Amino acid sequence: MINNPNDPYSDQRDTALPGRPVRDPADWRAQDFKDNEEWLYHFTDDDISELKLAVQSHDHPHVDLIGLSRKDFHLPSLEEKLLRFRQELLYGRGFINFRGLSVDSFGKRGAAIAFWAISCYLGDGMFSQNKRGHVLGHVTDLGESKENTAQRGPFSGESIPFHVDAADLVGLLCVEPAKTGGESSLISSVAVHNEILEQRPDLLPVLFEPYARDRRDEVPPGMAPWYHLAVFHIHQGYFAASIEPTYMGSAERFDEVETMTAQQREALDLVQKIAAAECFKTNFNQGDMQFLNNHVIFHSRDAFEDYESPGRRRHLIRVWLKAMDARPLSPNFYARHGRIEDIDRPGGIIGSDTVLSAPLNRQ
């Protein structure tokens, strides 16, 4: 058992050790949710009333979300639930979906502010999601492709392989669903680790070794346009994982980056194969929110088709959250972002002239 005062689930986990199965509350398979909806919380009428009241004074054209934090949103009864869900995210199952917020009733701006309010309770601050400094991101098809090494997945309608984002938690609000497709798939990276240990123990050590990753032209000052980070990590008895297949592949465009070995490619392929076989799929209805822990969950997105009307095009709003009391992470997570001693919690993307902003409209 791990002695961590921040971890209310410590009696359900063992100290993680290399080459051993990881016992962690975040170890689950899709079949575990076949007959239950523990992963889904339906907002009550009282919850919605509290949110509307909390959002009301901020819902105007000149609102600047950057200046709003947890203290600006009074949620007397919903707060207790959100703090419980936060613990589930950080140390338990690792994901939660919310349903029941009406975008039509709140309005698109009001719904975005409500999403921000909930995010403030689940996290301790927002990370920038791109070199432009957007802490409120807009996931929508702008006609881009992941084949373009100057862009990332949010701006295409293509499928995205199982991956993580550069934050403790990622949250999504569905403002407009797709005409078809766009389903979200989640898989416990703890379960993937344990499956690989059982199926191909010879490949497991490979995933604990560093892989080169492309920064996709979003380079922090003084750093190289690529970095190295392993897929699996164990630190202070806790397991964590990170995978970005598209960026791992495109890192080889740099002459200085080593070519992946056959074993490295095979190991990445096996991760995707196991994830696809064991994943839990969820649809995004309008007003749905999803939050997940990047350190124990891999997520993917199916390709989608949009409606022809510009106002109906698929549109998700995204946040990347830091959580200061989240599971311990190895120094390698911090080194991705700069000097370890300057970083309170690793995450986000910063360029040479990044200025933080929270745009409420699609960019």
Q: How does pLDDT run across 325-353, given as a tens digit for each residue?
A: 999 999 999 999 999 999 999 999 998 88
Q: What is the pLDDT of residue 196?
A: 98
Answer for the pair 278, 187: CB distance below 8 angstroms, yes or no. Answer: yes
Distance CA 75, CA 53 (A): 9
Reading the block at residue 310, the tokens are: 């510009």
Instruction: Tell me which residues of the chain have a pLDDT lower than 70.
Output: 1, 143-153, 363
Reading the block at residue 142, the tokens are: 């702008």
Distance CA 247, CA 266 (A): 16
Which structural domain range is residue 246 located in?
127-342
Q: What is the pLDDT of residue 311?
A: 85
Distance CA 214, CA 247 (A): 5
Q: For residue 137, give the nearest of 106, 171, 113, 169 by alpha carbon.
A: 171
Cα 358 versus chain centre, distance: 18
Q: CATH code at 214?
A: 3.60.130.10
Beta-carbon contacts of 141 under 8 Å, excluding residues fewer than 6 positions away, are 155, 156, 157, 304, 306, 313, 314
Q: What is the pLDDT of residue 34?
A: 86
Reading the block at residue 13, the tokens are: 């986990």
259-268: burial string, b at 16+ Cβ within 10 Å, e else: ebeeebeebb
Q: What is the pLDDT of residue 146?
A: 61
Task: Tell me the per-residue pLDDT of 208-245, one tens digit each, with 9 for 90 and over.
Answer: 999 999 999 999 999 999 999 999 999 999 999 999 99
Is position 89 within any domain? no
Is position 16 within any domain? no
Is position 333 within any domain? yes
Tally of structural domains, the chain? 1
Is position 118 within any domain? no
Is position 105 within any domain? no
Q: For residue 173, give the nearest of 118, 91, 126, 95 by alpha carbon.
A: 118
Answer for the pair 183, 299: CB distance below 8 angstroms, yes or no. Answer: no
Torsion on CA atoms 163, 313, 318, 9, rounded to nearest 10: -60
Burial class (CB in 10 A: 0-12, 13-18, 19+), 239: buried
Is position 25 within any domain? no
Q: What is the pLDDT of residue 155?
A: 74
Is position 20 within any domain? no
Tokens 């050790």 sit on residue: 17
Is position 161 within any domain? yes
Q: What is the pLDDT of residue 352?
A: 83
List the beta bridge partners of residue 41.
98
Q: What is the pLDDT of residue 107?
A: 97
Reading the block at residue 349, the tokens are: 């993307």
pTM of the model: 0.96
Distance CA 293, CA 92 (A): 10
List the beta bridge partners of residue 299.
163, 186
Q: What is the pLDDT of residue 151?
A: 58
